Amino acid sequence: MYIRMMEYFKFDGLLAKFVFLILAIVAVHYHIVFGVIVILIFISLSQNVIEGMEGNMNENEDSSKDSNVQSFKTTNCVNGKLMKDNKEITPQQVKESFPNIKFTGDTCNPCDEDCKFEIISSEEQITTEENLRAMDSNEVNVDRTQSIKKK
């Protein structure tokens, strides 16, 4: 059974803060390091941060992806046609005009209801570009015996 000290002692009240202040003054009277230790203990006990792990991360991501797709459609679709700068964009020109669109199937008109696509965030795009970037050979450890071994 996991027992936390914060469940039994509350340091939010004025009395608890006053007791720790007196304790810190007494500790500093003996040595300054003891006073610092008392202050650090008070700070660590008075923080009331509980971080919970929730399993609904994918639900939030799906809803944000859907909202991104809907906002894209409202800003760029006019009467079922994809427009950019008052020009109609064909499905072949979508990749050049909108590089942040990723189709789940074949390339199609994003304004169609049956066209499935998602909007790639700029952070995800940068991460992919960094993974594709060439690496410096001096930073990679190479096992010389394995590299010269005949296969």
Tens-digit pLDDT profile for residues 63-120: 556 677 888 888 888 888 888 888 888 878 888 888 778 888 788 888 888 888 888 7
Tens-digit pLDDT profile for residues 14-61: 787 888 889 889 999 999 999 899 888 888 777 765 666 665 555 555
Q: Is residue 141 part of a domain?
A: no
Is residue 69 domain-shared with residue 127, that is, in the same domain? yes
Residue/partner pairs of 56-65 with CB below 8 Å, 24 or more apart: 65/118, 65/119
Q: Is residue 118 part of a domain?
A: yes
**Buried-state track 95-117, b at ≥16 Cβ within 10 A, e below 16:** eeebeebeeeeeeebbbeeebeb
**pTM greater than 0.75:** no
Q: Is residue 90 part of a domain?
A: yes
Q: Is residue 54 part of a domain?
A: no
Is residue 83 domain-shared with residue 128, that is, in the same domain? yes
Q: Is residue 149 part of a domain?
A: no
Handedness of CA 28, 29, 32, 37 (dihedral sign): negative
In the chain, the number of structural domains is 2
